[in-house]
Amino acid sequence: MSDERIIRGVMASSGIAIGRAIRIFDPSNISYNFQVEVDDTAREVARFRESVEKCRKQLERMQGELRGSSIPESSYFVDAHLLILKDKLFVDRIVDKIQAEAINAEWAIQQVSGELYEAYDRLHDDYLRERRIDLEDIVRRMLHNLRSKSSSTVPALSYDAVLVGRSIPPSTLFELRSARVAGLVTETGSPLSHTSIVARSLGLPAVVGIHDLSGISSGDPMIVNGSRGFVICDPDPSTLKEYRQKTRQQRSTLRRSSGTAPCTTQDGVRISLGANINFCEEAQSAAANRMEFIGLYRTEFDFFREDGKPSEDDLTAQYSRVLQALRPAPVTFRTVDVGPDWKSGDGTGSSLASRGLRFSLENQDLFKLQLRALLRASRNGRMRILLPFVSTIDDLDAAIEIIAGVKRDLARHHHRYDRDVPVGVMIETPAAAQTCDLMAPRVDFFCLGTNDLIQYYLVIDRSDQSAAQLYTPFHPAILRCLHQVYTLLQYSGRPVTVCGEMAADAAAAAVLLGLGFTSLSVSLSAYPRMRETIAALNLGKLRELAGEIMKMDSPKNIEERVRSTIG
């Protein structure tokens, strides 16, 4: 009998991944469950014993402090925790599990503690319920200690893995990129969340917004169909064969479609098509595929790659390598944009009030450090500096003043840099859309960030899949906003590139072209497809279409009208 089952979700990153599940638990205390090689069990046992030892020292320190406090009895709970650490039923069973089942320490801890929780729950005893809470606390501490001990967390795996979790923070995905992660599936998130964007830039097929993933355990074989938005659990051999064939086709299509000729519409109008990247390593593949330019390099992922403050020299070297790899193509470095979904992946990270340029203005030491690194690297190619999430002219003026100060300082210390590095602004807040003409004389170019623009215009969280039908670029308010931005900047002499995900959807890109925008930037994975899409579009017809849809009132009808016109 077949165990194969299909679970539907939402497409977040296209492509097909075949692998075995690795479950990710509580996003604030990520741990991974996986099988280890038999030879590695001794290392896992040692990791586990170290974490027990670390817990013991932490608890003894805590005990000492509490005993000296005004309420010495408060140290009693620590005694209970220390007893658990000495409990053979707990500690030795975890060691046995690691050895007998060849699994990592985290998985063994979860299994043994899970069995004990169940036993406590069955006994309906208040005293034992308290013991359960103590146990939960110790487990949390152990998992945390294991994690901080080896922050890269997953060692080189001997099989392709599919990450499965309620949510997976973008930084975690990044940490795992050198492990054999083939794809990911999550319960929360949407195609516009940063986790999905990172998945696309790492070329990892992803499905998000899956209702319930609790039936999937670590080790289960699965297929992720990121192009159709579903996963297949425990696939039959015939399904596996079919999908292996599809992955081979996928690789050859990618090889075929990277282009060198300029991108033009069917009626011969030149469209600039650039690529968005999120990691410095992507510069190599962008260069190999001869991308015209990098319309957006989201630098925050590389900036916060290591915990703590990055080094100016390391960043300078990294930015120089990116510029050299892509020379003579221009590269748009967006300064750090820390957003609400940056830390946790579920929207509970930093505050909206401190996002993007505001974060940089509040943390000027970091901002100056990045600007110094950027400017020092600038002579290695064609750099553009882009300021994210700008909403007031005052903030923009402050940023421009800081850039000028950093330049003066570099000159004083005899550092050479490109004095004419263009500085631009992301139009991604309603305030920037309304005032971009006032910003134009102060800057050299603009990028239109439709991901945030739509979310703040329509008041729909871009990561909230449950409201995805309300988040639409075809809303008349968005069309009017785009038309207004185009009109305000039309004669400003400041080029505008659309770099939000809207540019990577055929129908939405058709609207952008029809409204007059001639420069788009999309993820590396969408680039070949969008070249083909643009080549099949007739700009004359799109202009007429834009005139028509500007008079329509229903997002659904507008979208249908556009899709039926472009075919």
- Cβ density class 354-373: b for 16+ within 10 Å, e for less: ebbbbbbeeeeebbbbbbbb
Structure token digits, residue 195 = 């986790």
Q: Choosing among ligand PEP, Mg ion, none, which partner's interface includes residue 399 (Cβ < 5 to 8 Å by kind)?
A: none
Binding string to Mg ion for residues 450 to 489, with x set by CB under 5 A, is what?
--x-------------------------------------
Tell me whether residue 447 is one of the annotated catalytic residues. Answer: no
CB of 99 to ligand PEP, least distance (A): 45
SS3 499: coil
- Name, in order, each residue with C-beta under 8 angstroms of 40's C-beta and a sequence gap of 6 or more: 102, 155
Please name which of 360, 444, 371 lies closest in space to residue 403, comparing C-alpha atoms: 371
From the list Mg ion, ligand PEP, none, partner contacted by residue 479 (C-beta under 5 to 8 A by kind)? none
Q: Does 330 bind Mg ion (CB under 5 A)?
A: no
The 181-186 sheet, strands edge to edge:
5-8, 230-233, 221-225, 16-24, 161-165, 181-186, 206-208, 10-13
449 binds Mg ion (CB under 5 A): yes
Cβ-based nearer residue to ligand PEP, 33 or 465: 465
Of residues 216 and 515, the one with the C-beta less far from ligand PEP: 515
Among 428, 464, 501, 559, binds Mg ion (CB under 5 A): 428
Cα radius of gyration (the chain): 26
| Residue 280 C-beta-side C-alpha neighbours within 13 Å | 17
The position carrying tokens 């033009």 is 264
Q: How far apart are CA 198 and CA 140, in angstroms?
A: 28
Catalytic (active site) residue 499: yes
Return d(Cα 391, Cα 466) in angstroms, integer: 28
CB of 299 to ligand PEP, least distance (A): 10
Return the one option of Mg ion, ligand PEP, none that residue 499 interacts with (CB less than 5 to 8 A, by type): ligand PEP
Instruction: Select from ligand PEP, Mg ion, none the partner in contact with residue 450, using the beta carbon and a kind-dependent cut-off of 5 to 8 Å.
Output: ligand PEP
Which of the listed partners (ligand PEP, Mg ion, none) does 500 bind, with a CB threshold of 5 to 8 Å by partner kind? ligand PEP
Smallest gap from residue 302 Cβ to Mg ion (A): 17
Rounded Cα distance between 460 and 170, Å, is: 20
Q: Token digits for 38?
A: 């038999």
d(CA 432, CA 437): 9
Question: What's the min distance (Å) between Cβ of 19 and Mg ion?
Answer: 31
Nearer residue to ligand PEP within complex by CB, 157 or 197 = 197
Q: How far is the CB of 405 from ligand PEP (least distance, A)?
A: 26
239-260 burial by CB neighbour count: b if 16+ within 10 A, else e?
A: beeebeeeeeeeeeebeeebbe
Write the single-letter amino acid at 163: L
Per CB under 6 A, residues contacting ligand PEP are 197, 296, 298, 337, 428, 449-452, 499-500
Task: Work out whether 106 is an interface residue with Mg ion (CB under 5 A).
Answer: no
Nearer to ligand PEP, 116 or 204 (CB): 204
In the bound complex, what is the minimum distance in angstroms from residue 298's beta carbon to ligand PEP? 5
Q: Which does 204 bind (CB under 5 to 8 A by kind): ligand PEP, Mg ion, none?
A: none
Q: Out of 55, 81, 194, 263, which one is annotated catalytic?
A: 194
Which positions are catalytic? 194, 499
The residues that touch Mg ion, with contacts defined as CB under 5 A, are: 428, 449, 452
